[in-house]
């Protein structure tokens, strides 16, 4: 387990690295040390009071619950904005935060911070600022791609696991063992029916499936899956399936018709920097899908 968790954990401070120990540190001790380092840094970027921070530290001993309700709502279409600051004209921290704030103002359901190349502290700072905006809105939830330690330290709603992340099964197992709240979301990316079934068996809360349509960011995964494959996956598993890959306003309806619980995209949300215009786009998606469901009743 220590080896599996290695890529997710912050380096131990020198003072707690256990130099000269004959017995290796357990995963929990290593994780807690990384979390303490994250939280100490997070105080510079967060609006949490000292009491909040203390409760957050207590959480890693099994007491603190970040939110009272973070379950996946399947009664309405879900929208996931996946960030990619390198696709912005200005790939700065300020630019990606402006894009995140626009999505939050537009009432996008989830923002998945997917900035794999960022150093831990910079990723934590961006996540903390995103959470500040989301908490003020009281609507959007923030998920961190791959980095479980950053997600937990910042107080995010969950973590999204990719093909190079920890396995979903081991992650869910570890979270349960460490008494994390059941509503701390774990999502994963799938590219086949078998992977979707494995994700459901692992106990994740939702699964991305794609690419559904052609898109530059998903071409490394092969040809588009199409809505027929999406329909098969949605019918085969009980967890919410989120369509990703080339999803736009013009084809989002086809994804929901195939049974998707939601859609995830970069360009659909990041390409519109104006919060008002983006809000209209999100509202239009909701209207189309809810209208479609009403007609089928």
pLDDT per residue rounded down to tens, the chain (297 residues): 433 444 444 433 333 333 333 333 334 444 444 444 444 444 444 444 444 433 333 333 332 223 333 478 877 899 999 999 999 998 899 999 999 999 999 999 999 999 999 999 999 999 999 999 999 999 999 999 999 999 999 999 999 999 888 899 999 999 989 888 888 999 999 999 999 999 999 999 999 999 999 987 777 767 899 999 999 999 999 999 999 999 998 899 999 999 999 999 999 999 887 889 999 999 988 887 766 654 453
Of the chain, the end-to-end C-alpha distance in Å amounts to 48
Specify the pTM.
0.77
Residues 55 and 154 in one domain: no
Residues 228 and 82 in one domain: yes
Residues 98 and 189 in one domain: yes
Residues 114 and 153 in one domain: yes
* 160-187 residues labelled b (16+ CB within 10 A) or e (exposed): bbeeebbebeebbebbeebebeebbbbb
DSSP class of 11: P
What interhelical angle do 93-105 and 275-296 show, nearest 10?
Answer: 40
Those residues whose C-beta lies under 8 Å from the C-beta of residue 78, and which sit 6 or more positions away, are 72, 109, 110, 240, 242, 261, 262, 263
Total domains present in the chain? 2
Instruction: Evaluate whether 137 touches 107 at the Cβ level (below 8 Å).
Output: yes
Residue 195 lies in a domain: yes
CATH number at residue 172: 3.20.20.70
Could you tell me how far CA 162 lies from the centroid of its own chain?
10
Q: What is the domain range of residue 8?
A: 2-59
Residues 206 and 285 in one domain: yes
* DSSP helix/strand/coil, 96: helix
Residue 72 lies in a domain: no
Residue 65 lies in a domain: no
Residue 251 lies in a domain: yes
DSSP class of 266: S
Residue 82 lies in a domain: yes
Q: What's the CA gap between 52 and 286, in Å, rounded?
A: 35
Residue 265 CB-density burial (10 A; 0-12 exposed, 13-18 middle, 19+ buried): buried
Residues 114 and 205 in one domain: yes
């Amino acid at each position: 387990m220590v080896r599996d968790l290695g890529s997710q954990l912050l380096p131990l401070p020198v003072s707690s690295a256990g130099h000269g120990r004959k017995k290796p540190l357990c995963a929990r001790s290593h994780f807690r040390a990384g979390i303490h380092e994250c939280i100490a840094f997070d105080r510079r970027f967060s609006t949490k009071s000292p009491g909040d921070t203390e409760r957050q530290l207590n959480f890693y001993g099994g007491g603190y619950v970040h939110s009272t309700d973070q379950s996946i709502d399947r009664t309405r279409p879900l929208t996931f904005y996946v960030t990619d600051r390198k696709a912005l004209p200005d790939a700065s921290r300020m630019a990606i935060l402006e894009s995140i704030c626009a999505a939050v103002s537009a009432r996008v359901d989830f923002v998945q911070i997917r900035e794999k190349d960022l150093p831990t502290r910079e990723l934590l700072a961006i996540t903390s600022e995103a959470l500040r905006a989301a908490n003020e809105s009281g609507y959007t939830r923030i998920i961190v791609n791959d980095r479980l330690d950053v997600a937990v330290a910042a107080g995010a709603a969950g973590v999204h696991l990719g093909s190079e992340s920890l396995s979903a099964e081991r992650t869910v197992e570890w979270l349960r063992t460490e008494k994390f709240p059941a509503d701390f979301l774990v999502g994963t990316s799938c590219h086949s029916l078998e992977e979707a079934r494995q994700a459901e068996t692992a106990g994740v809360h939702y699964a991305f499936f794609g690419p559904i349509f052609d898109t530059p960011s998903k071409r490394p995964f092969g040809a588009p899956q199409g809505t027929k494959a999406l329909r098969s996956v949605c019918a085969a598993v009980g967890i919410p399936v989120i369509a990703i890959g080339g999803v736009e306003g013009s084809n989002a309806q086809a994804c929901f018709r195939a049974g998707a619980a939601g859609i995830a995209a970069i360009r659909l949300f990041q390409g519109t920097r104006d919060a008002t215009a983006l809000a209209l786009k999100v509202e239009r998606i909701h209207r189309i899908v809810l209208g479609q469901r009403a007609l089928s009743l």
